[in-house]
Amino acid sequence: MKKKIFKLPKATLERLALYYKTLQNLDDEEVVMISTPELAEILDIQPEKIRKDLSMIGKFGMKGVGYDVINLKLQIGNILGLQNYWRLAIIGAGNFGTALANYEKVTDWGFIVAALFDVDEKKIGEEINGVRIYDFKKFAPISRRKLIDIGVIAVPDAEAQKVADILVEAGVKGIWNFTAAKLDAPKNVTVVDENLMIGLSALSFYLNQNTN
Amino acid sequence: MKKKIFKLPKATLERLALYYKTLQNLDDEEVVMISTPELAEILDIQPEKIRKDLSMIGKFGMKGVGYDVINLKLQIGNILGLQNYWRLAIIGAGNFGTALANYEKVTDWGFIVAALFDVDEKKIGEEINGVRIYDFKKFAPISRRKLIDIGVIAVPDAEAQKVADILVEAGVKGIWNFTAAKLDAPKNVTVVDENLMIGLSALSFYLNQNTN
């Protein structure tokens, strides 16, 4: 069966992740059905936008009844590729690396933290949340053995490109970049930047508009 | 002088933060002038989009010369409210709280981490990156004394709403929410959710599209 390829705007993609999170919460609360207006109310997003987003990925729900929570969650998870159980390696067992290794949402959403890497000899051999810290010098062979799909870069900015090059060379397909560095990578490697300052700047902007 | 109020689309606001980051890097590298095509190349954003974004916040640059890096950075920082030196309190001195207290971009961008709070007696009185951890039970008086503007919620999801209520009650104007909880807050308090799973889901989506 040929896989269907979706081209989705970034904003839609981000909202799909939000819907997924909300449906997961609803499922935890044992809610079985949810209507678009209810979802809109919870998420503070216009119902038309939700309908449009969902229409882009398939046909869901029944008029006047709403969506089956578990089914919609599975369908969205499927589009987001969450059924693939992507295997992550976290590079840098500092504060962020440790926080991410302990971040339960990562495993809740079906990702597997398969290894941590660091260059600090005091850290190598230790475990965080049951995951071992390996010597980053041995990244390529360990990455192959552990079938790593995604490398999470949580090292100082100045080291980021060097780390990215080693990840790419070792055959990692995706990079989740927690540094402020703009990474160069070949086209077949997907890089997603996690820039925390965007959220904090947005907050600053809104506060600044509200201040008299 | 009456302050100018800007209504900006979320995507523009996010790009402004990206421009700010890039201009800061350029300034660090002692680049003095930058053209729109150069900025477009660095950021992998279409030049027309950059021109449109910047036209929404003012008149910058000279035809055929480009932008003065420092001036444009200051202007964008001004729109983003970064000249306000917002004072942050981080609630939860766990992995994320500690990572954020050590995250140098926060101070680089003009924010001040003024206090940490926790309920764990072993942590209270300790310091992270020179910032003291206080007893969260005393949040209101300490927050007033430390002139806290923004509360960063980095506690377990189940505690998030209770923490938010205490922050709001104490007069905090903005909340940066690192939990997966959807927080209720009065209209005069701005809440920005930092949902890390959005970035990781986007990466998963792109990898899934590329896999055959």
DSSP class per residue in B10-45: HHHHHHHHHHHHHHHHHHHTT--EE-HHHHHHHHT-
- Which residue in A135, A170, A132, A137 sits closest to A151, CA to CA? A170
- pLDDT (tens digit, 9 = 90+) per residue, A35-66? 999 999 988 889 999 999 998 888 776 667 78
- pLDDT (tens digit, 9 = 90+) per residue, B66-89? 899 999 999 999 999 999 999 999
pLDDT tens over chain B, length 212 residues: 445 667 788 889 989 999 999 999 899 899 999 999 999 998 888 999 999 999 888 877 666 778 999 999 999 999 999 999 999 999 999 989 999 999 888 998 999 999 999 999 999 999 999 999 999 999 999 999 999 999 999 999 899 999 999 999 999 999 999 998 889 999 999 999 998 999 999 999 999 988 64
pLDDT at B212: 47
In a mutational test of the B interface, the residue from A95, A107, A175 whose CB has the highest number of chain B CBs within 10 Å is A95
Residue-by-residue DSSP string for A58-110: ----BTTTBEEHHHHHHHHHHHTTGGG-PEEEEE--SHHHHHHHT-HHHHHTT
Residue in chain B nearest A79 by alpha carbon: B205
Please report how the helices B36-43 and B10-28 are oriented relative to each other, as an axis angle in degrees rounded to 10.
Answer: 100
The yes/no answer to whether this complex scores an ipTM above 0.85 is: yes
Pairs of residues, one from chain A and one from chain B, whose beta carbons lie less than 8 Å apart: 191
Residues 6+ apart with CB under 8 A from A202: B10, B13, B14, B17, B192
Whether residue B81 and residue A204 make contact (CB cut-off 8 A), yes or no, is: yes
Whether residue A195 and residue B18 make contact (CB cut-off 8 A), yes or no, is: yes
| B18, B96, B209 ranked by CB distance to A99: nearest | B96
| B13, B109, B200 ranked by CB distance to A205: nearest | B13
pTM metric for this prediction: 0.86
Distance from CA of B30 to the nearest CA of A (A): 17
pLDDT at B56: 85
| A20, A43, A149 ranked by CB distance to B207: nearest | A149
Mean pLDDT across chain A: 91
Confidence of residue A125 (pLDDT cuts 50, 70, 90): very high
Distance from CA of B157 to the nearest CA of A (A): 10
Whether residue B109 and residue A197 make contact (CB cut-off 8 A), yes or no, is: yes
